[in-house]
Amino acid sequence: MTAPRLTDRAALERNRTRALRAPELFLHEAVADEVEERLQEVNRRFTSPAVIGDWAGLWRPRLADAVHVQDTDVLALTPGAHDLVLHHLALHWADDPVGQLAQCRHALRPDGLLIATLFGGQTLHELRACLAEAEIAVTGGLSPRILPMGEIRDLGALLQRAGLALPVADTTTLTVRYETPLHLVRDLRAMAEGNALGQRLRHPTRKAVLTEAFRLYSSRFAGPDGRLPATFEIVTLTGWAPADTQPQPLRPGSAKARLADALGTTETPLDRSGD
């Protein structure tokens, strides 16, 4: 039996097409700005970049010579053709994120750089909690509404599984404040981050569920000014295609100096008398 897909790709593409009519891209722009700063710190000139998943085209003026491909299951990338691959705020929708990262690695030349950005597990935790509680109270059940997003400790391990060297995972939390929960929902639609789960309900959410969820949100999270926080956790995954020129870990037992000497302390042998 075929396992159910996490993402309904047709629904995701419909959401993106609809969002392009009046996009709200402040988060995408903030993430792109951060990635550009990281690239400047690398201090290397990239000559053959590729960008994955940039449905709104934010990277076209930033990397004019980049190859742009959709974040489909099979990426339209040529193996070994790129020295830089950017996977832009789309990996959280992947059914096989390791497969996506592995394809990025194969598309890189030796010592080529991958930077992948995605939403992390703390994203929209306020909305998720309120929707779940409201749906249980009103209907007695619970349905998939918001994409399950990975924790940074798990996401970082994906880089190693994909065969990337010098893996680094870090996170930035952005808090956006809204007048009402409805304003947040409108922004999510304009970001193309509406419900595109494969197992979602195929009929509109009952009004009573939304009314109760919005009531809970306002009563629990409103600040002194009455505005409501919405958390967005941005995880950035960085890895390099393996190359002989990269730093390599020393062989265990090959150290030339003792750690105790470097720290200026006394080494105390482990007491094994009770073994």
Q: Per-residue DSSP letters for 99-114?
A: HHHHHHHHHEEEEEEE
Q: Quick one: average pLDDT of 70-98?
A: 96
Q: pLDDT tens across 199-254, in order? A: 877 777 889 999 999 999 999 999 999 999 999 999 999 999 998 887 665 565 55
Q: Evaluate whether 221 touches 215 at the Cβ level (below 8 Å).
A: no
Among all chains, which residue has been given the structure tokens 């691959």?
A: 85
Q: Enter the pTM of the model.
A: 0.86
Q: pLDDT tens across 124-147, in order? A: 999 999 999 999 999 888 777 777
Q: What tens digit of pLDDT does each residue of 8-66 get?
A: 999 999 999 999 999 999 999 999 999 999 999 998 899 999 999 999 999 999 999 99
Q: What pLDDT is attached to residue 156? A: 85
**Mean pLDDT in residue range 156-184:** 95
Asked if residue 116 lies in contact with residue 104, where contact means CB atoms within 8 angstroms, the answer is: yes
Distance CA(13)–CA(214), nearest Å, equals 27
Domains annotated on the chain, with CATH? 9-247 (3.40.50.150)
Q: Give the distance from CA 18 to its chain's centroid.
A: 22
Q: Say if residues 74 and 103 touch (Cβ distance below 8 Å).
A: yes
